Amino acid sequence: MKKILFFLFTKSIGIYLNILSYLWPEKALQLAYALFSEPREGRLFKNKLPAILKEAQTNTFQHNNHFFQTYTWKGNETIILLVHGWESNASRWENLLPHLKKSGSTIIAIDGPAHGLSSGKEFSIPQYAAFINIAVENFKPQYLIGHSIGGKTCLYYQSVYQSTLIQKMVILGSPSDFNIILNNYIAMLSLNQKIAIRLKNYYLEHHKLNIDHFTGKLFASKINTKGLIAHDIDDTVVAFTEGKKIASAWKNATLIETKGLGHSMHDDDLYQKITHFLFEIE
């Protein structure tokens, strides 16, 4: 029943936007873009923080007209920065934290744009990468771990900023081709070509992004940092082939194929492999 209701809901929105595209095309574009770029889940409230985040020291940083939140679990001079994915927040790392804490490391998690306690309504990878860069400059982490679109943001960050501080990166269940994500959204709502073309042009005009070239595979090809890529063959959110694309271009990375973890990638065995990779534990 839920699937049927969701199908009817999305198609109803699509019909409305398609009609609107002929009457008020600019309004149709803005609504379509907002639905695509504004997360509907993942927000946090200061008075209702998850217990794991209450244990951490918090810091707020400014970037242009926005601010973003970080959470620090203090340890030694080895520092790990965690970057969550779409409609999530820093608490998504709760299951991984005990494994990382065994190393004694200082662990820092970040809330992305329009997620957690960070400001804004709109999410974008370049803005997220700018947040990461400020966090790297302030905390100077050696290791970077990202999940889903957060993983792709890590790839974008390192390909653009080329941080010499980052020694190793872990990318979990991350997409490569932005075009696939956008096309899936267009197909889900059954949007007409008029809106589809304008959406793609909007990214080029307002974000200076050619979405055909905005790929994790291209970002990875520019990275020399040692990497570990993990992707589940049963992932129904981001296809396993996306992880293979990234791995094919990242000359200094290894791909781990998992099964049965889905998109969340929560698994003690995988987390042990991640700690082995980071700290070279035999």
Mean pLDDT of 8-31: 90
Gap between the Cα atoms of 124 and 146, Å rounded? 15
- pLDDT for 3: 67
Are 59 and 73 in contact by the 8 Å Cβ rule? The answer is: no
Q: How far is CA 265 from CA 22, 82, 125, 174, 249, in A?
A: 43, 14, 21, 11, 22
Indicate the range of 59-73, 114-128, 206-220, 246-260 predicted with least confidence.
206-220
* Segment 60-81 mean pLDDT: 96
Instruction: Break the chain into its structural domains and give their ranges.
Output: 1-37+178-206, 46-174+215-279
pLDDT given for residue 281 in this prediction: 60
What is the Cα–Cα distance from 124 to 281, expressed in whole angstroms?
36
Is pLDDT above 90 for 56? Answer: yes
> Averaged over 10-30, what is the pLDDT?
91
What are the structure tokens assigned to 134, written together?
């400020």
Pairing label, strands 79-83, 66-73: unpaired
What are the two backbone dihedrals, phi and then psi, of residue 107, each rounded to the nearest 5 degrees?
A: -120, 130
Cα 121 to Cα 38, 43, 222: the distances in Å are 6, 10, 30
pTM of the full structure: 0.92
CB 73 within 8 Å of CB 55: yes
Averaged pLDDT, 81-95:
97
- Please tell me the distance from the alpha carbon of residue 59 to that of residue 110, in angstroms, as a whole number: 10
* Cβ atoms 218, 151 nearer than 8 A: no
Architecture per CATH, domain 46-174+215-279, reads as 3-Layer(aba) Sandwich (3.40)
